[in-house]
Chain A
Amino acid sequence: MTKMARFSVPALLLALLVGLLYVGMQDIDRSLASPLIGLPAPALPPADEGAQALLPELDGRPHLVNFWASWCLPCLEEHPILMRMAGEGIPIIGVNYKDDPAAAERWLQRHGNPFAVILEDRRGSFAIDWGVYGVPETYVVDADGVIRSKRVGVVDRAFKEEHRALLLPGVDG
């Protein structure tokens, strides 16, 4: 009996530890929770005249803030989903991150423009205030201007479905 316990107790402890480490390893999607969730969204880059006129329309409306760049391949990958969301009436603010405006313009002309407003963050300093560490990153901002969720990397259908109710209030679906 004591011999049995002497073997099984350490074995059990080891199994527990291995289990704990295994569970810990499952968080491989780098979805490190943003400390900004639940807080008011940081300032966006200043808008040029065109964007200035469009921004008030977003006041009090839930929207997405998508950091993207023409040099970013995953941004192209998520582009169709963004187009679809824009088509459904979800306003998306596109923050063009460390990009050449001409290249960004060409990219949008070639692939289509899902953004209600486009803002420029040439040096990437605004992105740091948002806690961005690589494009694409997408934030869900509610009607009160509070960040509700963040996606690091490509936006997919699951993301779209998850936030549909918040982003499209009053639309049943």
Chain B
Amino acid sequence: MRRVLPLLLLAFCAAVGVAAANTAELPESVALSERDEARYERLVQELRCLVCQNQSVAESNAPLALDLRRIVRRMLAEGHSDREIKEFMRGRYGDFVLYQPPFNAVTALLWVGPAVLLLVAFLLWWRRLRTGVVVEDDDET
């Protein structure tokens, strides 16, 4: 049994995966060229599903995600650029719909923050190394 269990689990996961892939395919009726298909896959990964906010439009089976996937397909078929499609979504749902938010006044801290923190940490570390005060200090206490 112990050996069979992982296999069973694997089979189950595979079956669920296939089922999920099938439902995901349902609304996408518009045929796309191979290149556009790749663009489609990338775009729906980059869009957030507004209903289940920690899933992308690609992953979610919420009705809204199905609608948005359909729209992305249609816009690709109509020859819109990636930027136009993202702007379409952003104009309706705001920056939040993009997993990679654009750089602006509101998101500046988000983008720059980690780099600034890292820089500060590095400067502190460097100063400590150079002065060498730390080690002696620690020994004394």
Contact = CB atoms under 8 A, between A and B. Distances in A.
B85 to A, nearest CB: 13
Q: Bin chain A's interface residue count.
A: 10 to 19
Contact of B67 (A30, A125, A131): A125
Given A2-B133, A2-B137, A129 B92 contact: yes
Interface in A78-104: 98
A35 B102 CA distance: 14
Interface of B: 50-51, 53, 63-64, 67-68, 71, 90-94, 96, 133, 137, 141
24 contacts: A3-B137, A3-B141, A32-B93, A33-B94, A34-B94, A35-B90, A35-B91, A35-B92, A35-B93, A35-B94, A98-B63, A124-B63, A124-B64, A124-B67, A125-B67, A128-B71, A128-B92, A129-B92, A131-B94, A133-B51, A133-B64, A133-B93, A134-B50, A134-B64
A32 B96 contact: yes
Contacts of A98: 63
Q: Would you call the interface of chain A mostly helix, strand, loop, or mixed? A: loop
Contacts of A131: 92-94
Interface in A92-146: 98, 124-125, 128-131, 133-134
A128 B53 CA distance: 17
Given A3-B141, A133-B50, A134-B51, A36 B92 contact: yes
B86 to A, nearest CB: 13
Contact of A130 (B53, B92, B141): B92
Contacts of A2: 133, 137
B129 to A, nearest CB: 15
A134 B90 CA distance: 17
Given A32-B50, A98-B63, 20 more contacts: A2-B133, A3-B137, A30-B53, A32-B93, A35-B90, A35-B91, A35-B92, A36-B92, A124-B63, A124-B64, A124-B67, A125-B67, A128-B68, A128-B92, A130-B92, A131-B92, A133-B64, A134-B50, A134-B51, A134-B64
A32 B92 contact: no
Contacts of A35: 90-94
Contacts of B91: 35-36
Nearest to B68: A128
A97 to B, nearest CB: 10
A134 B93 CA distance: 12
